[in-house]
């Protein structure tokens, strides 16, 4: 049971570290934290409805409505309605939004490289596999 305690401690440090890193990245950009999170999700999904976005971000749809409002005001994203289900809004990034996504995503890639640089090649592969398993089976 001791190793679970230790692992919990390192996981919390890991999340705090990541969160601190992201705060400082965002502070020196023209994005807010929630905008950056939304961009990260939208940038990997082409088109997405509000509910899907909310679920990925772990917030309510009321919250994503506000976030997407702001992204639209900045011309980073736009809502598209569909014929199949007229209640649904599909969100897509604009060219400007994609540019912002790529820029922010670049920072993430760089952080990942820093993490990878303290691991050997085997460890990197193992780390990836463990994360995949945890993401698929726990979250």
Partner DNA sequence: TTATATAGTTTGAATATCAAACATTATTAA
Partner DNA sequence: TTAATAATGTTTGATATTCAAACTATATAA
x/- map, 11-50, DNA, by CB under 7 A:
------------x---x----xxxx-------------xx
- 2-27 and 95-117 helices, crossing angle to 10°: 140
Of 66, 78, 81, 80, nearest to 35 by C-alpha is: 66
Confirm if 37 and 102 have CB atoms less than 8 A apart: no
Residues 80-99 that bind DNA (CB under 7 A): 84-90
Residue 63 binding partner per list DNA, a second copy, none, with a CB distance cut-off of 5 to 8 Å that depends on partner kind: DNA
**Torsion angles phi and psi, residue 89, rounded to 5:** -110, 125
Nearer Cβ to DNA, position 24 or 102?
Answer: 24
Shortest spacing between CB 106 and DNA, in angstroms: 20
Q: Least Å distance between CB 22 and DNA?
A: 10
Contact assessment for residue 35 and residue 70, using Cβ atoms and an 8 Å cutoff: yes
User: Is-contact 29 35, C-beta < 8 A?
Assistant: no
Residue ranges binding DNA (CB under 7 A): 23, 27, 32-35, 49-52, 58-70, 79, 84-90
């Amino acid at each position: 049971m001791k190793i679970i305690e230790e692992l919990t401690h390192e996981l919390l440090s890991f999340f705090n570290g990541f969160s601190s890193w992201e705060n400082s990245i965002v502070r020196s950009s023209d994005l807010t934290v929630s905008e950056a999170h939304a961009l990260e999700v939208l940038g990997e999904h082409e088109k997405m409805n509000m509910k899907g976005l909310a679920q990925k971000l772990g917030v309510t749809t009321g919250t994503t409505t506000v976030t997407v409002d702001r992204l639209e005001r900045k011309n980073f994203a736009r809502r598209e309605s569909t014929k199949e289900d007229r209640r649904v809004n599909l969100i897509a990034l604009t060219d400007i939004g994609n540019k912002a996504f790529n820029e922010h995503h670049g920072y993430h890639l760089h952080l990942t490289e820093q993490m990878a640089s303290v691991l050997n090649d085997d460890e990197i592969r193992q780390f990836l596999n463990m994360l995949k398993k945890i993401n698929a089976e726990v979250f």
